[in-house]
Amino acid sequence: MITIKEIATQLNMSTTTVSNVIHGKTGEVSPATIKIVEDYLKKVDYVPNINARNLAQNQSKIIGVALKARADKYENLLMDPFVSELIGGIEESIRNAGYFMMLYISRDTNEIMRHVSTWNVDGLLLFGMIDNDGIRVSERYKKPIVCIDTYSIEGLKHFINVGLNDRQGCFDMVNYMIKQGHKKIAFLSDNMRGVDYERFSGYKYALEGNGIHYDESWFLQIKPKNEDIEKSLDDICKRIPEFDGVMCVSDLYAVQLMCALKDRGVNVPEDISIAGFDDTLLGQLHRPALTTVHQDVKQKGIMATDILLKRIKGEKTPKQVQLPTELIIRDTVKCRL
Amino acid sequence: MITIKEIATQLNMSTTTVSNVIHGKTGEVSPATIKIVEDYLKKVDYVPNINARNLAQNQSKIIGVALKARADKYENLLMDPFVSELIGGIEESIRNAGYFMMLYISRDTNEIMRHVSTWNVDGLLLFGMIDNDGIRVSERYKKPIVCIDTYSIEGLKHFINVGLNDRQGCFDMVNYMIKQGHKKIAFLSDNMRGVDYERFSGYKYALEGNGIHYDESWFLQIKPKNEDIEKSLDDICKRIPEFDGVMCVSDLYAVQLMCALKDRGVNVPEDISIAGFDDTLLGQLHRPALTTVHQDVKQKGIMATDILLKRIKGEKTPKQVQLPTELIIRDTVKCRL
DNA sequence: TTGTACGCGTTATCAA
DNA sequence: TTGATAACGCGTACAA
């Protein structure tokens, strides 16, 4: 770990000169000196001490990526294919921009804030915030923040959000199902907040637009925690005969449901149609292949990161981005006409 | 962002006293002062500047997690369920130990080394290293390093490795297949190095132990890159009639193969038996459910992190860990007797 | 029990 | 074109 000071001593010059060369301030240095310094830097394989640099410049070159885990979900958030694909896109963007990614998962918003201020991150990417979490963080932390998939009416004033037209996506799919002759369509989710609520709204809106009356009993609740999932899937399967189809809030749930159904001798799509949302690997690698609402998850991560980086540089960006969805018609919704 | 100096001024005392209280060196400070300082710290919500602290102590509290991506694989490494589950375990362990995780993905070992020295990470977790990559890094970087799933005869002297009894796992599975009446069993993989080679060895050893002669043509090569995968799967499917079963090097490939087969009207396990390796979500959520070799991926991540943390603290640890495998018999290998 | 002063490695200002 | 020197915020030896 050689330092600038040491290099300066070795080369019999000042730290300023060395530093100038390192930063390409060539206008200030004679070509001969530049050459000498550059050669020496290469020879000793100089690596700047990032702590010293950050201290001097009051920056960090770190993008904090904070995922808020929900208490009622899996212990391992990254196992959700949606999350891992998102992180993949984010990591790539951060790296390409010459920044560094510090990943932090927590159930506790306070912990996240502490983490963020400790590292004095240059910007923050937030996922999994519900209700006022995002606002709380952005009020406390004055650096740029971009949320992903956060719905909050008040929040719109406080933070930038990169989201999806969730409502439209679900609306389109349910409309499609109705056009294929489905009438009694259930909605499967684990909760009714944020993204899930938006998707639910699109679902309900499509039903109503086609003169189908939504009944509360059409909401099928899955409990994703390890110890509850089997039981809740069993309950759901028992109710399946009541319906023509199920709109699932995610591919993961759609596939879990299809497995449970198959284990009970129920055939998809002959006995019941299933639609998913997200278009992850899980649905693509299922047979029958899952009919689903596509979103470009990786792109979402990239876009959120790009906006954040622009904000860090002080550039203008949109305050809200809503990515489009696309219907992917595969084999789990059957025509019942 | 209040500093110690400022607090000291406000409270009319020295920075040393404030610092001492922060670090719980209470033996040196009067109870009254402690109270005053602690209250004030809470009031202003003091957060230490980590850069200054790290600079002064020449540490970082960061664990670097470097994934080496292979050029011939997917662009998005995290999409592999195995990788994301592993990272999930690692992140949890790092966080619980009060450290921070900096994730870095690259195809270039040099880049990884630069990243590591830049941040002066306290320890390094390495995944995806092949051949001498691990050695190169550990020779250059003098802080503790733990590799995950790296095979290298020379490497054993240089670095700690947390791995799996890959050979035994594959051996057991192929043995089981043979006992179920399979004779011509192919091996599906994308390469023949590291982990894949070990698994292949177990496969071959099981064949030979049962008097079955392995022929080179039994190696089925899949090309995982987006643009090649369809073609390579097509080629593989054409060769399936030659075999009784296929031992796949990963669940991911097993599931991809099963989808390709189903699309071509080939039934698993009636027409051909398929076995996987890893026991990820993908195989669990497939029907027929995948018969596979289980490994506790999350545990692998946790164990690697724990060993690294012990090394950082200067404690003794084993140099090599080999986690066990377990056969998971589900529905994709049929009895052919 | 409390305070002074310096070092950590870098950047930046200003003088030479 | 180059060189002193002062910050940046924290930790700590040593002095008071």
Instruction: Give tens-digit pLDDT for B174-233.
Output: 999 999 999 999 999 999 988 999 999 999 999 999 999 999 999 999 998 888 999 999
Instruction: Please tell me the predicted confidence (pLDDT) of residue B249.
Output: 97
C-alpha A124/C-alpha A127 separation (Å) is 10
User: What is the rounded average pLDDT of the residues A270-281?
Assistant: 96
At residue A126, φ and ψ (nearest 5 deg) are: -120, 130
A104:B103 CB<8 A: no
Burial class (CB in 10 A: 0-12, 13-18, 19+), B298: buried
Written as six digits, the tokens of A66 are: 């904070």
Q: Are strands A145-148 and B145-148 parallel, antiparallel or unpaired?
A: unpaired
| Residues 6+ positions from B38 with CB-CB distance below 8 Å | B21
Task: Name the 3-class secondary structure at A87.
Answer: helix
C-alpha B51/C-alpha B91 separation (Å) is 22
Whether CB of A292 is under 7 Å from strand D: the answer is: no
B106:A95 CB<8 A: yes
Sheet holding B326-328, edge to edge: B219-221, B185-189, B245-248, B273-278, B291-294, B326-328
Contacts of B117 in chain A (CB under 8 A): 1, 47
pTM > 0.85: yes or no:
yes
Do the beta carbons of residue A128 and residue A89 sit within 8 Å? no
How many beta carbons lie within 10 A of that of residue B335, not counting itself? Answer: 10
**Side chain identity at B132, as an amino acid letter?**
N
C-alpha A193/C-alpha B335 separation (Å) is 48
CA dihedral A31, A37, A42, A46 (to 10 degrees): -140
Instruction: Render pLDDT for A117-148 as a digit per residue (tens, 0 to 9).
Output: 778 788 999 998 876 776 776 777 778 899 99
| A176 pLDDT higher than 80 | yes
What's B26's DSSP letter?
G
C-alpha A4/C-alpha A13 separation (Å) is 11
C-alpha B224/C-alpha B244 separation (Å) is 24
Instruction: Please tell me the predicted confidence (pLDDT) of residue A75.
Output: 67
C-alpha B172/C-alpha B165 separation (Å) is 11
| A74 pLDDT higher than 70 | no
- If phi > 0 it is left, if psi is from -120 to 50 it is alpha, else beta; for residue B72 that is alpha
Residue A299, CA atoms < 13 Å, CB-side half-sphere: 11
Whether CB of B28 is under 7 Å from strand C: the answer is: yes
| B53 pLDDT higher than 70 | yes
Whether CB of B17 is under 7 Å from strand C: the answer is: yes
Range with the lowest mean pLDDT among A159-173, A293-307, B155-169, B263-277? B155-169
Task: Name the 3-class secondary structure at B212.
Answer: coil
User: What is the rounded average pLDDT of the residues A66-91?
Assistant: 84
| A272 pLDDT higher than 90 | yes
Contacts of B115 in chain A (CB under 8 A): 100
Please give the interface size between A and B, counted as residue pairs whose CB atoms are below 8 Å apart.
137
Max CA pair span of chain B: 88
C-alpha B155/C-alpha B137 separation (Å) is 11
Instruction: Please tell me the predicted confidence (pLDDT) of residue A197.
Output: 96
Q: Are strands A185-189 and A219-221 parallel, antiparallel or unpaired?
A: parallel
Range with the lowest mean pLDDT among A26-30, A242-246, B121-125, B166-170? A26-30
> Domain extents for chain B?
4-48, 62-164+297-323, 166-295
Q: Are strands A185-189 and A145-148 parallel, antiparallel or unpaired?
A: unpaired
Written as six digits, the tokens of B319 are: 């140099």
Q: Are strands A326-328 and A291-294 parallel, antiparallel or unpaired?
A: antiparallel
Higher pLDDT, A269 or B81: A269
Contacts of B87 in chain A (CB under 8 A): 78, 84
| B265 pLDDT higher than 70 | yes
∠ CA A333-A286-A227 to the nearest 5 degrees?
A: 100
B100:A104 CB<8 A: yes
Whole-number average pLDDT of chain A? 90
Rounded alpha-carbon distances, angstroms, from residue A199 to A203, A227, A248: 6, 26, 9
Distance A33 CA to D2 C1' (A): 10
Sheet holding A291-294, edge to edge: A219-221, A185-189, A245-248, A273-278, A291-294, A326-328
B50:A100 CB<8 A: no
Task: Name the 3-class secondary structure at A88.
Answer: helix
Ranked by mean pLDDT, the top range of A69-78, A168-177, B36-45 is A168-177
CATH topology of domain A166-295: Rossmann fold (3.40.50)
User: What is the rounded average pLDDT of the residues B66-82?
Assistant: 79
Do the beta carbons of residue B161 and residue B148 sit within 8 Å? yes
Same topology between domain B62-164+297-323 and domain B166-295: yes
| B154 pLDDT higher than 80 | no
C-alpha A105/C-alpha B184 separation (Å) is 47
- If phi > 0 it is left, if psi is from -120 to 50 it is alpha, else beta; for residue B12 that is left
**Side chain identity at B170, as an amino acid letter?**
C
| Residues 6+ positions from A213 with CB-CB distance below 8 Å | A207
Task: Name the 3-class secondary structure at A5.
Answer: helix
pLDDT band at residue B327, thresholds of 50, 70 and 90?
A: very high
Whole-number average pLDDT of chain B? 90
Whether CB of B15 is under 7 Å from strand C: the answer is: yes
Measured CA to C1', the nucleotide nearest A56 is: D8
| Residues 6+ positions from B39 with CB-CB distance below 8 Å | none
Measured CA to C1', the nucleotide nearest A20 is: C11
C-alpha B331/C-alpha B334 separation (Å) is 7
C-alpha B23/C-alpha B39 separation (Å) is 15
C-alpha B4/C-alpha A227 separation (Å) is 48
Do the beta carbons of residue B97 and residue B157 sit within 8 Å? no
Q: Angle, to 10 degrees, between the axis of helix A15-22 and the axis of helix A31-44? A: 80
Strand D footprint nucleotides (protein C-beta < 7 Å): 1-14
Ranked by mean pLDDT, the top range of B111-125, B129-143, B243-257 is B243-257
Share of chain A above pLDDT 70, in %: 96
Instruction: Please tell me the predicted confidence (pLDDT) of residue B164.
Output: 97
Q: Which of B2, B45, B68, B76 to mutate to test the interface with A (most CBs of A within 10 A)?
A: B76
| CATH class of the structural domain A62-164+297-323 | alpha beta
C-alpha A71/C-alpha A161 separation (Å) is 23
User: What is the rounded average pLDDT of the residues A243-259?
Assistant: 97
Residue B331, CA atoms < 13 Å, CB-side half-sphere: 11
pLDDT band at residue B276, thresholds of 50, 70 and 90?
A: very high
Of B166, B97, B159, the C-alpha closest to B318 is B159
pLDDT band at residue B134, thresholds of 50, 70 and 90?
A: low
| B131 pLDDT higher than 70 | no
Do the beta carbons of residue A77 and residue B147 sit within 8 Å? no
pLDDT band at residue B72, thresholds of 50, 70 and 90?
A: low
C-alpha B222/C-alpha B228 separation (Å) is 9
Higher pLDDT, A235 or B121: A235
| B74 pLDDT higher than 70 | no
Length of chain A in terms of residues written = 337
Partner residue facing A120 (CB), from B49, B83, B256: B49
Partner residue facing B255 (CB), from A1, A117, A285: A285
∠ CA A243-A247-A253 to the nearest 5 degrees?
A: 110
Q: What is the DSSP string of A93-121?
A: HHHHTT-EEEEEEES-HHHHHHHHHHHT-
C-alpha A81/C-alpha B74 separation (Å) is 15
H or E element, residue A35:
helix A31-44
Strand C footprint nucleotides (protein C-beta < 7 Å): 1-5, 7-14
pLDDT band at residue A105, thresholds of 50, 70 and 90?
A: confident
Instruction: Please tell me the predicted confidence (pLDDT) of residue B118.
Output: 77
Q: Are strands B291-294 and A100-106 parallel, antiparallel or unpaired?
A: unpaired
A50:B92 CB<8 A: no
User: What is the rounded average pLDDT of the residues A192-220?
Assistant: 96
Q: Are strands B62-68 and B100-106 parallel, antiparallel or unpaired?
A: parallel
Q: Angle, to 10 degrees, between the axis of helix B109-119 and the axis of helix B133-140? A: 30
Q: Does residue B288 have a cis peptide bond before it, meaning omega lies within 30 degrees of 0?
A: yes
Helix and strand numbers, DSSP H then E, in chain A: 14, 12
